[in-house]
C-alpha cells in the first residue's frame, strides 16, 4: 500500500465515475465528484500548512464534509480526529489539547460549544466552519472546495501510517486517542467484505455517529472500499430511518442496540417494506435477545457483532445461518483476525471456561496517542488485551460474558451482569435494565438492578423480579435490590454508563 485508503476513491472514480458514492440530505455525489471534492480539500489543507502526521480534528455531524475530510487527510498523510459532537465544551477542549490539534473543522450549529472549547487551545492554526450561516471570522469550508485544484496530491504512504485517531468513550476516566493506521482500516474492510460478501451494489444507511468506530467502519468505509453507496443521516429518528430504508432500498444497516429497540417501538415499522435489507448488525454493546428475536420474526436478516475501537472494530460476528441456533453468541472471527481466551496467568482456558479475550491481526491498533505506558498494558507480543470476559463453546463460537471491570464478585462467586440483564429484559414491563454490584458487608458485593419500565404506573416489586428470575438464574445471581429510573445514563454510542449508576447514593 503506497497511497493509503485515499486510493480507494481514486480507483472507483476511474472505474465507475458516475456511481453514487454518498448521499446526504438533498445532496448526492458520484465517485468522480466525491474524489474531486476530496482532492480540492486536500490541496487546500496543504496550502494551509497541514503536513504528514498533523492532526485535523472535526466536530461534525454525519455529513459529506466529514467523509471528505477523512479521505482528504488520508491522501496527504494527516491524521483525522473525529470528535463526539455531544460532548461539553470542556470535554471537546480536552481532546483538542490532548491531540495537539492543528486544524479544526466544525459545524456552525455547534458554535456555542466551539467558541468556549477553542479559547485556550494554542496549537490550532486554522479553524474552518461548515454551514450556510457564518458566525465567526473563520475560513468557510465550501470556499476551500470552490477555490482550489482537484489535482491528485502526490504522497507516498505506508500501511503503518496513522490516518485516524478515535477517542475512546472515557467511561473509565479521561478518553484516550486510539491510533488507527491505513492498514487497520483497509484490513477491517477486507474482513467485512470477505465475511459479509459486500458488493458495489450495496446501499448502506449510516445513522450511527461517524465519530464512533461502529458508524465509521462497520459499513461506511467497507462499502466505499467496495464501491457501493453510503447514505448519511445526521440525527437518529426511527421513523425517518424506516422511510430511508424503503425509499433507497437500503441493503445494510448498523445500529447500536438502543437504536434497534427504538425501531421496534416505532409505529411506522409495520407499514415499512424492509425486504431490501440483507445484512443488519447490532453492536457497540450486548444486544438484548428480545430485540434479535423480534427482528428474526419479521424475516429481517440479523447479525450480532463484537468489536472495539482498538480493533477497527471487527473481531467476530454471528452470521445469519447461526443467529437462531447460537443466540447469545457473537459468532466467530473473520479470516484475518485471531483470538485467544486466557486466564490470569495468560494460559488458554478450556472450552466453556471464562477468561479475558485477546485479539491479534492487521486490524489491531498501533497504540494510544502519547500514552506509551497505557499502550504497553494492553499490547503484548502483538496481542491486544481487550478487558472483555468471554468464553468459547466446543464449536468455536464466542460468547462475551461481560466487561472485566463490570464483573460482580459475591461470596467468592463471579457474577456477570449481562446474564442477569438478558433475563430481566424478558419481563413484560421491563423496557431497559442495567445491573451493577452493590457493596455488601457479608458477601462483598450483591447485584442491584436499575430498571426503566414500559408502564411507569405499574411498579414491579423486588419479590416479583426475584420470582421472574427463579429457575433462570442461580440464587446468588438474582438481584437483591431494585431501583427505577426514567432513563439509563448512556454515552453517545449507546453504552450504559455503569460508573454513574454505581455512584448513585444507596436509598435507605
Q: Which three cell numbers stand for residue 324?
A: 437462531
Report the relative pairing of strands 252-255 and 203-206 from DSSP bridges: parallel
Residue 283 CB partners (closer than 8 Å, separation 6+):
214, 218, 254, 256, 304, 305, 306, 307, 313
Q: Where are the alpha helices (DSSP H) in 77-179?
A: 89-98, 111-117, 141-147
pLDDT (0 to 100) of residue 155? 82
- Asked if residues 279 and 252 have their Cβ atoms less than 8 Å apart, the reply is yes
The predicted-structure confidence for 497-507, as pLDDT tens digits, reads as follows 887 888 787 76
Report whether 464 contacts 441 (CB < 8 A).
no
Report the pLDDT value the prediction gives residue 497, as an integer from 0 to 100. Answer: 81
Write down the mean pLDDT value for the chain: 91
Give the model confidence (pLDDT) of 389-442 as tens digits.
899 999 999 988 866 677 787 876 778 788 898 889 999 999 999 999 888 877
pLDDT of residue 369: 97
Report pLDDT for 445: 82
Task: Express each pLDDT in 119-175 by its tens digit.
Answer: 999 999 999 999 977 767 799 999 999 989 999 998 889 999 999 999 986 545 678
- Does the structure show a pLDDT above 50 at 1? no
Q: What is the pLDDT of residues 278-314, one digit of tens each?
A: 999 988 777 777 888 899 889 999 898 889 999 999 9
Averaged pLDDT, 445-462: 91
Residues 6+ away with beta carbon under 8 Å from 128:
103, 104, 105, 106, 138, 139, 140, 141, 144
Domains, the chain, with CATH or none: 24-157 (3.40.50.980), 409-502 (3.30.300.30)
Amino acid at each position: 500500500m503506497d497511497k493509503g485508503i485515499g486510493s480507494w476513491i481514486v480507483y472507483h472514480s476511474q472505474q465507475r465515475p458516475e456511481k453514487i458514492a454518498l448521499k446526504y440530505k438533498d445532496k448526492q455525489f458520484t465517485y468522480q465528484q466525491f474524489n474531486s471534492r476530496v482532492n480540492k480539500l486536500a490541496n487546500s489543507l496543504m496550502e494551509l500548512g497541514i503536513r504528514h502526521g498533523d492532526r485535523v480534528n472535526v466536530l461534525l455531524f454525519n455529513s459529506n464534509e466529514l467523509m471528505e475530510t477523512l479521505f482528504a487527510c488520508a491522501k496527504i498523510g494527516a491524521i483525522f480526529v473525529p470528535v463526539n459532537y455531544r460532548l461539553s465544551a470542556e470535554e471537546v477542549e480536552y481532546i483538542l489539547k490532548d491531540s495537539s490539534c492543528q486544524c479544526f473543522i466544525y459545524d456552525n450549529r455547534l458554535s456555542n460549544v466551539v467558541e468556549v472549547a477553542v479559547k485556550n487551545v494554542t496549537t490550532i492554526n486554522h479553524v474552518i466552519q461548515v454551514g450556510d450561516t457564518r458566525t465567526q471570522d473563520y475560513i468557510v469550508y465550501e470556499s476551500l472546495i470552490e477555490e482550489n485544484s482537484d489535482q491528485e496530491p502526490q504522497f507516498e504512504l505506508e500501511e503503518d501510517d496513522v490516518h485516524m485517531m478515535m477517542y475512546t468513550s472515557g467511561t473509565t476516566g479521561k478518553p484516550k486517542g486510539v491510533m488507527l493506521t491505513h492498514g487497520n482500516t483497509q484490513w477491517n474492510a477486507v474482513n467485512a467484505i470477505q465475511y459479509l460478501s459486500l458488493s458495489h451494489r450495496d446501499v448502506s444507511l449510516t445513522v450511527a455517529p461517524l465519530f464512533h468506530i461502529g458508524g465509521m467502519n462497520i459499513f461506511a468505509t467497507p462499502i466505499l472500499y467496495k464501491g457501493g453507496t453510503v447514505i448519511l443521516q445526521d440525527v437518529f429518528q426511527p421513523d425517518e430511518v424506516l422511510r430511508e430504508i424503503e425509499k433507497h432500498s437500503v441493503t445494510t444497516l448498523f445500529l447500536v442496540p438502543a437504536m434497534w429497540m427504538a425501531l421496534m417501538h416505532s409505529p411506522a415499522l409495520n407499514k415499512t417494506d424492509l425486504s431490501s435489507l440483507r445484512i443488519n448488525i447490532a453492536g457497540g454493546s450486548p444486544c438484548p435477545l428480545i430485540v434479535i428475536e423480534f427482528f428474526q420474526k419479521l424475516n429481517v436478516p440479523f447479525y450480532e457483532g463484537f468489536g472495539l475501537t482498538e480493533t477497527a472494530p471487527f473481531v467476530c460476528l454471528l452470521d445469519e445461518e447461526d443467529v437462531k441456533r447460537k443466540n447469545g453468541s457473537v459468532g466467530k472471527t473473520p479470516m484475518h483476525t485471531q483470538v485467544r481466551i486466557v486466564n490470569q496467568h495468560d494460559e488458554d482456558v478450556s472450552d466453556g471456561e471464562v477468561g479475558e479475550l485477546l485479539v491479534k491481526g492487521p486490524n489491531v491498533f498501533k497504540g494510544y496517542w502519547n500514552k506509551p505506558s497505557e499502550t504497553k498494558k494492553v499490547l503484548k507480543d502483538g496481542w491486544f488485551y481487550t478487558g472483555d470476559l468471554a468464553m468459547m463453546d466446543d464449536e468455536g463460537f464466542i460468547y462475551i460474558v461481560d466487561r472485566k471491570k463490570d464483573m460482580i464478585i459475591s461470596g467468592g462467586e463471579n457474577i456477570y451482569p449481562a446474564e442477569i440483564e438478558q433475563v430481566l429484559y424478558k419481563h413484560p414491563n421491563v423496557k431497559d435494565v442495567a445491573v451493577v454490584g452493590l457493596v455488601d458487608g457479608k458477601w462483598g458485593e450483591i447485584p442491584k438492578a436499575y430498571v426503566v419500565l414500559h408502564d411507569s404506573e405499574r411498579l414491579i416489586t423486588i419479590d416479583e423480579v426475584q420470582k421472574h428470575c427463579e429457575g433462570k438464574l442461580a440464587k446468588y445471581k438474582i438481584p437483591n435490590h431494585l431501583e427505577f429510573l426514567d432513563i439509563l445514563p448512556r454515552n453517545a454510542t449507546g453504552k450504559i454508563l455503569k460508573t454513574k449508576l454505581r455512584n448513585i447514593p444507596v436509598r435507605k
